Chains A and B, each alone.
Chain A
Amino acid sequence: MTPLLQVKGLTKTYGRHIGCRDVSFDLFPGEVMGIVGESGSGKSTLLNSMAGHLVPDAGQVIFDTRDAGPRDTRAMSEPERRMLSRTDWAFVHQHARDGLRMGVSAGGNVGERLMAVGARNYGAIRASAVDWLDRVEIRADRVDDRPTTFSGGMQQRLQIARNLVTGPRLVFMDEPTGGLDVSVQARLLDLLRGLVRDMGLSAIIVTHDLAVVRLLADRLMVMKDGDVVETGLTDQVLDDPQHGYTQLLVSSVLQV
């Protein structure tokens, strides 16, 4: 099976400071990978370097494109990369405000991404928007409301709907449940799990919450000071950590 994403030797530095160093892994279709580590470990740098938000110093991010098979996204033209990020890729930000247009209605936020890939029929766009809002449990009578009137959990669900409406194959998530109430987190986790299963999505989730990765991620990557120190099956890494840092991380949590 061809990996959906192959990351090879990805390195990003900020001057003399190392963001992430020589990271390599394969992600297969339908797999969810978690990246954990404390603040400053380089996990967000890695995510943003993969997603094209940061320009890495070295390495390749090879994506199995629908048309031309595996291609290094770093070697793509800017319009190609932008198209990719609107179609097969999605990025869910920790703060929904960073991923939404706050001045546009909920339906508009979802419809906009469809229009960006060429949808023109207003009725079809609206129907699709309503359908997606329903899937993320936002009632149809809120379609014309702006996200500013939504709660934090609703905004996050709207951001997910906006990202998934074009049927992406790979979703990058940066602390998707961070800053939400525990009950809202659970609801979002359930939603994400269902979407991953039903749509066959692959996802890369950055979080510092080990309980979240246990429930959501198949595989886990542990980062410290820009390096990947351990990888493996999520439950294996959490229950039988091999690296000293992972052992410390796991034993520092009250209950995972």
Chain B
Amino acid sequence: MRGGAARRGIWNQKKMDAMIEISDLTKTFTLHNQGGAVIEVMRDAALSVAPGECVGLVGASGAGKSTLMRMIYGNYLAASGRIIVGDVDVATAAPREILDLRRETLGYVSQFLRVVPRVPTLDVVAEPLLALGVPEAEAQARAADLLARLNIPRTLWGLSPTTFSGGEQQRVNIARGFAHDYPALLLDEPTASLDARNRAVVLDLILAAKARGAAIVGIFHDTEARDRVCDRIIDVARFTPGMAA
């Protein structure tokens, strides 16, 4: 473990309690097939999220909201800096550590549902639980409960979600993301393209996750939703080189 609790000092006490803590984070893209151009998209990003807290990322399109989320998930590689989630530094962790983190600690509801074709919706939603060793019957019961709450008709549960409408796919993705009680959650536009009824269900799921102590980072273009669930707003423009407010 880097640093160690003893060396962090008392003034850092609050930060020690953070579930997600990002500091000095920098991101560059090197385009080898376009003359080796190096594009710096993020500089000195810092963010701390406590258990039970929801932080909303805002900023113009292209400011780096999704980039930051993807870096926290280990999907984009950091150029430098630290991304501590639980007790893992995602910026330097081995793939195996990140896989464990994703299985147990860090959930991610992306905007896209990516599944093996042909797998029934119920199994898609239950999969994160099966990966944790939860018995199949229990995992399926939890999946069924979430699908019912998100108003996915029972007649669709046995079908692959690949043929579903955009809104249905999104709700399947949300059910999958909430199947396990992750201590940390990343939500990328979870209420986009949902009707009022399903939007309310998703907001309740987010509030319940906060109540049980999940640390959440989210992108919400829907300002009403953002106001209901977010405790703080961070404008990522201040991390964007050349875009600083």
Interface of A toward B, CB cutoff 8 Å: 28, 31, 183, 186-187, 189-190, 193, 197, 214-215, 218-219, 232-233, 235-236, 239-240, 242-244, 247-248, 251
Q: Which residues of B contact A219 (CB under 8 A)?
A: 95-96
Question: Which among A197, A218, A239, A242 is the interface contact of B30 at CB below 8 angstroms?
Answer: A242
On whether the beta carbons of A243 and B32 are closer than 8 Å, the reply is yes
Q: What is the size, in residues, of chain B's interface with A at 8 Å between Cβ atoms?
A: 22
Question: Which among B30, B95, B114, B118 is the interface contact of A233 at CB below 8 angstroms?
Answer: B95
Question: Which among A190, A240, A242 is the interface contact of B118 at CB below 8 angstroms?
Answer: A190
> Can you give 20 contacting A-B residue pairs, CB < 8 Å?
A31-B99, A183-B117, A183-B118, A190-B118, A197-B130, A215-B115, A218-B95, A233-B74, A236-B74, A236-B75, A236-B77, A236-B95, A239-B76, A240-B29, A240-B75, A242-B30, A243-B32, A247-B33, A248-B32, A251-B33
Distance of B160 from chain A, by nearest CB (Å): 9
Extra contacts, 18 of them, besides A28-B96, A240-B77, A244-B32 (Cβ < 8 A), are A31-B96, A183-B117, A183-B118, A197-B131, A214-B114, A215-B114, A215-B116, A218-B99, A219-B96, A232-B77, A232-B95, A235-B75, A236-B76, A239-B75, A239-B76, A247-B32, A248-B32, A248-B33
Give CA–CA (A193, B70) in the complex, Å. Answer: 24
Question: Which among B33, B77, B95, B115 is the interface contact of A242 at CB below 8 angstroms?
Answer: B77
| Chain B residue, CB-CB nearest to A233 | B95
If A218-B95, A233-B99, A239-B76 touch, whether A187 touches B33 (CB-CB below 8 Å) is no
Distance of A131 from chain B, by nearest CB (Å): 18
Q: Which residues of A contact B131 (CB under 8 A)?
A: 197
Question: Which among A31, A214, A247 is the interface contact of B31 at CB below 8 angstroms?
Answer: A247
Interface flag for B211 (CB, 8 Å) = no
Give CA–CA (A251, B31) in the complex, Å. Answer: 11
Specify the main secondary structure of chain B where it touches its partner: mixed
Give CA–CA (A189, B29) in the complex, Å. Answer: 32
If A197-B131, A233-B98, A239-B70 touch, whether A189 touches B116 (CB-CB below 8 Å) is yes
Q: 0/1 per residue, B86-122, Cβ < 8 Å to A? A: 0000000001101100000000000000111111000
Distance of A227 from chain B, by nearest CB (Å): 16
Distance of B91 from chain A, by nearest CB (Å): 12
Considering residues B95, B99, B115, B130, which has the most beta carbons from chain A within 10 angstroms of its beta carbon? B95
Distance of B142 from chain A, by nearest CB (Å): 17
Give CA–CA (A39, B95) in the complex, Å. Answer: 26
Q: Which residues of A contact B32 (CB under 8 A)?
A: 243-244, 247-248
Give CA–CA (A239, B119) in the complex, Å. Answer: 24
Give CA–CA (A218, B33) in the complex, Å. Answer: 26
Q: Which residues of A contact B74 (CB under 8 A)?
A: 233, 236
On whether the beta carbons of B116 and A193 are closer than 8 Å, the reply is yes
Q: Which residues of A contact B76 (CB under 8 A)?
A: 236, 239-240
Q: Which residues of A contact B115 (CB under 8 A)?
A: 215
Give CA–CA (A247, B35) in the complex, Å. Answer: 13
Q: 0/1 per residue, B118-140, Cβ < 8 Å to A? A: 11000000000011000000000
Q: Which residues of B contact A244 (CB under 8 A)?
A: 32-33
Q: Which residues of B contact A251 (CB under 8 A)?
A: 33
Q: Which residues of A contact B33 (CB under 8 A)?
A: 244, 247-248, 251
Considering residues B96, B98, B115, B119, which has the most beta carbons from chain A within 10 angstroms of its beta carbon? B96
Q: Which residues of B contact A197 (CB under 8 A)?
A: 130-131
Q: Which residues of A contact B29 (CB under 8 A)?
A: 240
| Chain A residue, CB-CB nearest to B119 | A190
Q: Which residues of A contact B119 (CB under 8 A)?
A: 190
Please name the 7 residue pairs, one residue from A and one from B, whose CB atoms are nearest each other, closest first: A244-B32, A186-B117, A240-B76, A233-B95, A186-B118, A219-B95, A190-B116
Give CA–CA (A193, B115) in the complex, Å. Answer: 11
Q: 0/1 per residue, B47-76, Cβ < 8 Å to A? A: 000000000000000000000001000111
Distance of B119 from chain A, by nearest CB (Å): 5
Distance of B126 from chain A, by nearest CB (Å): 11
Q: Which residues of B contact A218 (CB under 8 A)?
A: 95, 99
Which residues of chain B (13-32) have a CB below 8 Å from chain A?
A: 29-32
Give CA–CA (A238, B111) in the complex, Å. Answer: 17
